[in-house]
Structure 1
Amino acid sequence: MNKYKETFGVDISKDVFDLYGSNSGHNQFNNDGKGFGSFLKILPEGAIVVMEATGYYHYRLAQFLYKNHVVVSVVNPLSVKRFIQMKLAKIKTDKSDAKAICDYAMANEVPLYNALTDVQAECLQLFRLLDSYLKKRTATKNKMHGEETLGIPSKFVYRSLKRDRKHLDGEIAGIEERLLSLVKKEQQHQLTLLTSVPGIGPKTALFLIVVTDGFSKFETAGQLCSYVGITPTIRESGSSVRGRSRISKVGNKKLRNLLFLCAFNACKHNRACRELYQRLVNKGKSKKLALIAVSNKLLKQCFAIANSGNPYDPEHVSVLKLQ
C-alpha cells in the first residue's frame, strides 16, 4: 500500500514536464530552474515524485528535488510501458503518461532515488561519451576496410579516415585515463578487489563500479544479473511451444558485451568459470551458451567480492554469498 500523502507522476520532455498528482490532478511546468521552483512550491509534505529514467531529461529535476529533501523515485520506462499495455490504454499523451506513472507508483513499490555525487555524475557522462566514440571508431574502421577492399582509389579519403581514427584513439585513451583517476578517488579499494577476479580487467571493473554506484544499487546478485540482461528466459506454452532458452537482453548492453568478452579469459584463468564452461560443453551445450553462463558466474563473483570486502580467493569464492 502507498504510504505517501500524495503521489506525483512526472512525464518530462526537453521543454516542459507534465505531472499528475493522485489528489491534485494534472499540471505542467517549464523544464528549467524557474519551473522546478514553481513545482516545489505546490508540493505538499510527505509526497513522492516518480519519473521515468529518460536519459538526460529527468536527471536535473531528480537532482533538484532530492537536494530539496523531496522523496524521488526514478523507475524503468519498460516497467511503466508494460503497466500501460496491461491496462489496454488507447490514449497516449503527455498528460496520460504522467497519470500512468502516478498509477504505476500507487500500485507498486518503487525504488527511492539517491542523488549522484559530482564524481559519479562525471563518470556516467564520460562513459556515455566513451560509448559514442567507440561506435564512431568501429564505423571508421569499417569504412577503412571498405576502402582497402576497393583498392583505395582515393588516397585523400583514406588519409582522412586514418586521421579520424587516430583522433578517436587519442580521445578514447584520454577518457579512459580520466575515468580511472576519478574512480580511484572514491573506489580504489573496490577497483582493486574486482580486478583480483581472474577474467575481470580494469575497464570492466570501472564500468561495474560506475553503473552500480559501487554495487549499492542492488541487494542481490540476481538483481544485478537481471539488470545486465544475462539471465535466461524460458519460452514454453502447453505441449506445442518449446522454444530455446535465451538471455533476456533487457538490460545494460555495454556491460553485457564487456562481460561476454571477459568470459573468454575467465575460461582459461578462473577455476570456477573453467569448470562451469567444461561441464556445460561436456553436456552438449553450445559454446556460446556456456560463455553466457560464465558471464553470469563472473558477475556473481564480482558481487560477492564487492560485498565481502575480501579479494578473490579460489578456495573460498564458491562459498561466498552469490544470491
Structure 2
Amino acid sequence: MHYVGIDVSKNKLDICLLYDGVKGKRKTKSLLNNEHSACMLIAWLAKYIPALQQVNIVMEATGVYHERLAYSLHQAGGRIAIANPLRVRDFAKGMGILTKTDKVDAYILACYSALKQPDVWQPPPIEIRELKALLCRRDALLEDIQRERNRYEKSGSTHTPKRVIESIEAMMHHMKNELSELEALIAEHINQHPNLKKDFELLTSIKGVGTQIGLRWCRHKTFNQRARQRI
C-alpha cells in the first residue's frame, strides 16, 4: 500500500506520495485547486502506482476547499480519509515536527495515513449535500437580514436621509421574501426524500428538539438503524 497526503488551500494543493510507508521513497507535487485537480492528480499518481485503489489518501477538513477534490477522487475509486486538523497537529508534534509549511504539512498527512490508518471517508448522500447547501444559504440570509435590521435601528439614532431608510426597508423586504421561498424549498426537499423525512421526523419527535435543531442534525449525517435504536 502507498500513502498520499494532500495539503489543501483555496488555490493550491501540495501533495506528498510515500512509497511503502514512512521510510520509503517520497515524491512531491503542487497543483492548482480547481475542477481539473482530481484528473491531474490521478494522472500524476499513475506514473508511480498501477492503480488508484492501492493508495490511501489523506487530506484535512479545510472548510469547503477540500470537498470538490474529495468527491472527485472518491468517484474515481480512491480511498480517501478526511483528517481532523487538531489530531494531525498533535501527530506532528509527536513526530517532533514543528515546522509548518505546505510541503511539510503534506508530508505529515502522508505519514499520518501510513501510521494511523484513518477510516475511509464515505461522502454523504446527495440529498444531504443539497440540504446542507440550502441551509447554509438560509443561514447567510438570516445573517444579512440581521445586519439590515441593525442598520435600520442605527438610522433612528442619527440623521439618516429618507432615501437611505427606504433602501434598507426595501432590502429587508426582498430578503425576507427570499427567506420564505428558501424555507419552502427546504421543506419540499425533505418531503421528497423518504429517508431524510424519516430521520427528520425521528429527530423532532425527541423532547426538546425542534425544527431548526432537527434540520441542523440532518444536514450532518443520516441515521443508520443502530443509531435509530439508540435514540
TM-score bracket, normalised by the shorter chain, equals: 0.7 to 0.9
Aligned length: 216
CA distance in structure 2 between the partners assigned to 1:83 and 1:165 by the alignment: 48
Contact between 2:12 and 2:30, CA under 8 Å: does it hold in 1? yes
**Cα-Cα RMSD:** 2.3
1:52 is matched by which residue type in structure 2?
A: E
Match among 193, 197, 205 for residue 214 of structure 2: 205
| Equivalent residue, structure 1, for 2:164 | 157
CA distance in structure 1 between the partners assigned to 2:176 and 2:119 by the alignment: 39
Match among 179, 183, 186 for residue 186 of structure 2: 179
Q: Identity over the aligned pairs, expressed in percent? A: 23
With over 3 angstroms needed to count, the CA separation of the structure-2 counterparts of 1:149 and 1:72, relative to structure 1, is same
1:28 is matched by which residue type in structure 2?
A: S
The alpha carbon displacement at 1:33 in A equals: 4.5
| Equivalent residue, structure 2, for 1:191 | 200
CA distance in structure 2 between the partners assigned to 1:92 and 1:111 by the alignment: 25
| Equivalent residue, structure 2, for 1:288 | none
CA distance in structure 1 between the partners assigned to 2:192 and 2:54 by the alignment: 36
| Equivalent residue, structure 2, for 1:40 | 42
With over 3 angstroms needed to count, the CA separation of the structure-2 counterparts of 1:31 and 1:161, relative to structure 1, is same
Report which structure shows greater RCO (CA 8 Å, sep ≥6).
2
Mapping for residues 109-148 of structure 1, pairs under 5 Å: 109-148=117-156
Structure 1 consecutive aligned stretches of length 4 or more whose deviation exceeds 6 Å: none
SS at match of 2:223: coil
The alpha carbon displacement at 1:93 in A equals: 1.9
The alpha carbon displacement at 1:19 in A equals: 0.9
Match among 78, 100, 114 for residue 106 of structure 1: 114
Contact between 1:140 and 1:164, CA under 8 Å: does it hold in 2? yes
Contact between 1:183 and 1:206, CA under 8 Å: does it hold in 2? no
1:96 is matched by which residue type in structure 2?
A: V
TM-score normalized with structure 2 length:
0.82
CA distance in structure 1 between the partners assigned to 2:180 and 2:120 by the alignment: 35
Gaps of 5+ in 2: 20-25
The alpha carbon displacement at 1:172 in A equals: 2.0
The alpha carbon displacement at 1:32 in A equals: 3.5
Match among 87, 95, 99 for residue 79 of structure 1: 87
CA distance in structure 2 between the partners assigned to 1:153 and 1:37 by the alignment: 55
| Equivalent residue, structure 1, for 2:228 | 307
Mapping for residues 258-273 of structure 1, pairs under 5 Å: none
CA distance in structure 2 between the partners assigned to 1:88 and 1:163 by the alignment: 58
